[in-house]
Chains A and B, each alone.
Chain A
Amino acid sequence: DIVMTQTPLSSPVTLGQPASISCRSSQSLVHSDGNTYLSWLQQRPGQPPRLLIYKISNRFSGVPDRFSGSGAGTDFTLKISRVEAEDVGVYYCMQATQFPWTFGQGTKVEIK
């Protein structure tokens, strides 16, 4: 299985300041079809996960532009340019390049 490792596991952030989450995969996530199936999900307290970013850097419909994704191969990053109160929650990276699909362990973003 591809192991997804996120750092940090907890990120206390001041409102209006940036936040960054790293996700590293144990193998390259480049699929044989040329796509890299790395996505980022946000899970607010008591809510189901919500898609933020797909294929490394594409913002899903309705996602604020303060969220951005980058990376390639085995190293990926989610950045929040200016954290707002509604951004509190747990963020997961996920790979769908190889079965079984796997998730990172999650990074908790909280306000200082």
Chain B
Amino acid sequence: NAGVMQNPRHLVRRRGQEARLRCSPMKGHSHVYWYRQLPEEGLKFMVYLQKENIIDESGMPKERFSAEFPKEGPSILRIQQVVRGDSAAYFCASSSGRSPNGYTFGSGTRLTVV
């Protein structure tokens, strides 16, 4: 069981470029969560998805950010026209939805905008 896989581990983008972060949930998990961790802060919820559906996006910035979890393939968090303030660690977590065991986190993608 490979766990939650996130890639890339590190991503550098220039201001104005697009960033695409990928998350493959654990085998058998159909629920995916994205969190953002700013320096010296705890993780902040962004979005919760089930296969092909966004369930809760209350933590997503209104502009430039989008997320998807297609029927086939990984979940994608997309940030368009990145700015320096987007620099952070982005974590994905997955669960089976059956028991709230705090689910399983990936190792995160550290995005640096230069």
Chains A and B are bound partners = no
A binding-site residues for B, Cβ under 8 Å: none
